[in-house]
Structure 1
Amino acid sequence: MPVAAASPPGRAEPALASLWEALPTEMERHRLKGLSVAVFDDYRIVEHRTFGVRSAEANAPISAQTAFSTASISKPVTALVCAMLAAEGVIDLDAPIANYLKSWRLPESAHPGAAEVTWRQLLTHTAGTSQHGFADYYEGDRLPTLIDSLEGRLPRYDKPIEFLFPPGTGWRYSGGGYVIVQLALEDHTGIPLAELAARRVFQPLGMHHTTMIQPGAAGFPADAALVHAEDGTVIRTGLPITPQVSASGMWSTPADLARFAIAIQRALAGDGNGPIAPATARALTDVFSLEHVGGMGMPFFRGFGFGNTDWFRHDGSNTGVNGDLMASMEGGYGIAVLANGDDANTGPVFATLRREIIDGMKWNERHKFATAPLPEDLKRTVLGTYTGLLYDLGLEYRIEEQDDALWIGSEFFTQFLGRERSRMHHLGGGTFAIEDYPNLLRFDCTEGSDDCNVTVSRPVSDAAPVVRAVGDTKAAAPG
């Protein structure tokens, strides 16, 4: 029997009716037990739908108040707390974090600048610190302290945090860096991060179903979704405990995540009357680099352009739970989704949600391209197969012509949108826009030569363009 859907609170968007009707069958196909999704537009929540059950072992349905583990969506909240404290002069984001640590010392390193690593470098994953993420714990387990986590006294991760490159010279996603931030916050303020986040973020923004308190502790919500393995069974008690709350310990609902994103969007639009100041919102979302993942903020990913939109986005993925928060830089629209399934259960369902909501809400029609004629010699130059063209992640991209238009196909679009390709538009001068990518590509070729470069740039951004030799990314033509 297909998963049942709860009645939607508030208004309903007729354009999304077919999606909500089909979604229970899609969930059943991928053995996803429960899902909650909020859609927001024009700076307000327009839909919040819930599907399925909190646990495969019970029939309690997901409600609008059901909290899910958000995994790494915790990081933007941690960054916001830091940015707010910095605006008040409590901390200095560009000062060495060692100045604020009392209970632990940074590891010694031969890499220059490691001893002076800053808050901002840790928050932007440019500090060079190791440890991508951390394992979950459950009731009855011995719970590590933050210092245990940093010094490698963990069952799965028995190696201390270390510096892998000089701070500020590269990018590497590091949950370990966020644990250093959490320890410095708590050492310096004397207040647990869960309490800081509640005071500074959750209460002022009306996020009444969000917490960094962990399962088993007083104040943890009674209405919580249990985590499930790929086969649809509950993992142990179903309620993972995450001592490293800065990196992945928040529990929330899509509606609360939407409130969080909308507050940032309002601030980006210049509204200075809310809890988040415009300068703070810009500090969180400004692109500081186009390398590696197509655009990074602090700590939002800014390399996604689904539906002709420049998004600030962060996802979350722990064993048995996944989430995604994507919000437009302009216009106040976006999607928040949380589900109690593993990657194989949630990935295809999330792709359907992104595609159908973007298309149904016609967000992809809000931004138009001023196209220019495409010279034949330029077309011949750009056609072909590339590696790492849009994102330096080893993915393959194929630029092809069909129906008198250029298209770029990739596993990337299939994974995130459930369609194989995205249309390219020539804007003139060898510069192309791509409908589901926020950066521009400019192909520059020496006349009479195959010596070409491709420049990746972002409109209305101070981030430095990235220039690569086409020969370094493009596969040789057969024969």
Structure 2
Amino acid sequence: MDRVEYTGIERKHAMQRPGKCYLFGAAAVAALAAAPASGQAGNCAMPPSAAGGTDNIHTRYVEGHLLPPVIKSDARPFSLADRMRQYDVPGISVAVIHDGKIVWARGWGVRDLASCKPVTPDTAFQAASISKVVTAVTALRLVEQGRIKLDQNINEALRSWQVPKDATLAPSGITLRELLSHTAGLGVHGFGGYQPGAPLPTPVQILDGVSPANTPPVRSILPVGSQFEYSGGGYVVTQVALSDVSDTAFADLGRREVLEPLGMTRSAFTMPPSPAILANAAFGSAHGKPMPGNYLVYPELAPAGLWTTATDLARLLIDLQASAAGKRGHRLSPAMTRLMMTPVKDNWGLGVAIYPQGAPRFMHDGVNAGYESFMVSYIGEGDGIVALTNGGDGHRLMGEVVRAIATDYGWSDIAAPATEEKELSLAELSKAAGHFEGGGLKVDLEARSEGLFARLAGGTMAERLIALSPTRFRSEGLGVTVEFTPDFASCTMIEGAPPMKLVRSAPSHAAL
């Protein structure tokens, strides 16, 4: 099954998409469970531990203490090697931030299934939708330089293309703030990629859906500002606007404003990848076999075209953490960073998703064909995690790796320790029953004596959710945990996807 790029917020859309995820259209979440792993990542043996980099008490804890969110009372932890085989993930690279510093970074497994060379901290992966975070920082840099405005009609910045006027859906036009926060009402969730060597569309051809572009035109599909609707297409609009106002190619702009100053030397908006990136690049895989051509090419640079390492992304997180804590001399001013991390709608800020419960945190994830990525960081504190994978069910593997790291360091807001299922009464379950909507996802919840059941609107199958507490439930089918507010007026995805919010609304007339 081919996957299309999409963010963690993309995971929710996995339910509707023909293949993609890290969320946001109901397509994202379901595809995560659609293709079971083969249990074998090619014929490569696990490289010696020393080949991956740092070896210490923390890395050894990860290697031997992986657990899913829900466990039995007598459950024993899995080894990382076993889980990589089970989830069909050839390689994973991880970087951990503690007290504002990268305390360790290393790789496990192999970067490709042909050479079987080991993943190291310097191995570059496709970041997929995490590219949008770098794009957002680049855009906000230009805002602070006075080259573009957050709240003016983006057409005033665009010279090489114009967003088609829509008197009904966008009578006053679309702004950069709306593009970065996915509230512009534009379509085209994600992108399918192109085989290496195939003709690539220009950004304008992508926006107009003109051959050789393989996606439809980027146009208004919802009233501007009315709701969150994840749009990779909106980030291509941003890409063109930033290039136009700076008279600089987007790849060069991103390098100048973000990558180079932060020492992200193994990162580049380069599609196809440069020889320097390919020298230590992870190649994508599917079902235990190399992808044809090793990877797909994404000319949609701003939303999906970054190659990077876990260590380089950790440098970006550290810079944003410091700025958010009020320190100056970073890529963004403290005021701009705080604006970036203030939700515009449905827990989504300017280029990042914000977790509303517990200690303030921001995150993004991503999926391109053959790659999945995840990063999460506390906003006001110097702790965080980055993980990158190159095939198989990287989503679930990264979830367990992040849980092990969070358990090891005591970061329960990032990932709660594994727990047993809780038994709840019908009265307790009934509080969560009802119809919920958010970000294009519609779900009916029904309380039964045997548990709380969820069904996507229009679907025929209902899944029994696992109760982790009176307000927290787990969908094993989607790999997502949700937390209800105390009054059960809404729930938010707190694990396995960006923090998408679903709000109680009029009950569905369709019975489960």
Secondary structure of the residue aligned to 2:285 is coil
Number of matched pairs: 426
- 1:330 and 2:380 are equivalent in the alignment: yes
1:194 and 1:211 in contact (8 A); partners too: yes
Listed one character per residue, the Cα deviations across residues 39-94 of structure 1 (whole Å, up to 9, x for unaligned) are 22222222212111111111211111110000110001111111111012111011
Listed one character per residue, the Cα deviations across residues 224-264 of structure 1 (whole Å, up to 9, x for unaligned) are 111112x1222222133221100100011111111111211
The match for 1:86 is 143
The residue type paired with residue 9 of structure 1 is T
The residue type paired with residue 472 of structure 1 is P
TM (normalized to structure 1)? 0.78
Secondary structure of the residue aligned to 1:274 is coil
Separation (CA, whole Å) in 2 of partners of 1:257 and 1:210 = 9
- 1:278 and 2:334 are equivalent in the alignment: yes
The residue type paired with residue 273 of structure 1 is G
Task: Report the alpha carbon displacement of residue 408 of structure 1 after superposing the two structures with TM.
Answer: 8.5
1:389 and 1:473 in contact (8 A); partners too: no
2:199 and 2:212 in contact (8 A); partners too: no
Q: Decide whether aligned partners of structure 1 residues 44 and 167 sit closer, same or farther in structure 2, where only a CA change above 3 A counts.
A: same
Any gaps of 5 or more consecutive residues in structure 2? 1-43, 67-77, 417-424, 457-464, 473-480, 493-500
- Describe how 1:168-247 pairs up with structure 2 within 5 A: 168-215=225-272, 217=274, 220-229=277-286, 231-247=287-303
Question: Which of 69-78 and 204-213 deviates more?
Answer: 204-213
Which residue among 458, 474, 487 is the counterpart of 1:442?
487
Separation (CA, whole Å) in 1 of partners of 2:415 and 2:176 = 36
Q: Decide whether aligned partners of structure 1 residues 339 and 366 sit closer, same or farther in structure 2, where only a CA change above 3 A counts.
A: closer
The match for 1:268 is 324
Question: Which of 100-109 and 143-152 deviates more?
Answer: 100-109
Which structure dedicates a bigger proportion of its chain to helix? 1
Separation (CA, whole Å) in 2 of partners of 1:238 and 1:115 = 44
Q: Decide whether aligned partners of structure 1 residues 394 and 77 sit closer, same or farther in structure 2, where only a CA change above 3 A counts.
A: same
Separation (CA, whole Å) in 1 of partners of 2:307 and 2:453 = 36
Structure with max Cα Rg = 1
1:98 and 1:115 in contact (8 A); partners too: no
- Describe how 1:228-377 pairs up with structure 2 within 5 A: 228-229=285-286, 231-290=287-346, 295-303=347-355, 308-342=358-392, 345-364=393-412
Identity fraction in percent: 29
TM (normalized to structure 2)? 0.73
The match for 1:423 is 469
Higher RCO (C-alpha under 8 Å, 6+ residues apart) = 2
Task: Report the alpha carbon displacement of residue 30 of structure 1 after superposing the two structures with TM.
Answer: 1.9
Q: Decide whether aligned partners of structure 1 residues 126 and 107 sit closer, same or farther in structure 2, where only a CA change above 3 A counts.
A: same
- Describe how 1:43-58 pairs up with structure 2 within 5 A: 43-58=100-115
Secondary structure of the residue aligned to 2:289 is coil
2:266 and 2:312 in contact (8 A); partners too: yes
2:438 and 2:503 in contact (8 A); partners too: no
Which residue among 441, 466, 472 is the counterpart of 2:507?
472
Separation (CA, whole Å) in 2 of partners of 1:408 and 1:2 = 42
Q: Decide whether aligned partners of structure 1 residues 247 and 39 sit closer, same or farther in structure 2, where only a CA change above 3 A counts.
A: same
The residue type paired with residue 378 of structure 2 is S
RMSD after superposition: 3.7
- Describe how 1:6-25 pairs up with structure 2 within 5 A: 6-9=51-54, 12-13=57-58, 15-16=61-62, 18-19=64-65, 22-25=79-82
Separation (CA, whole Å) in 2 of partners of 1:110 and 1:32 = 48
Task: Report the alpha carbon displacement of residue 312 of structure 1 after superposing the two structures with TM.
Answer: 0.8
Separation (CA, whole Å) in 2 of partners of 1:61 and 1:283 = 40
Task: Report the alpha carbon displacement of residue 472 of structure 1 after superposing the two structures with TM.
Answer: 3.1
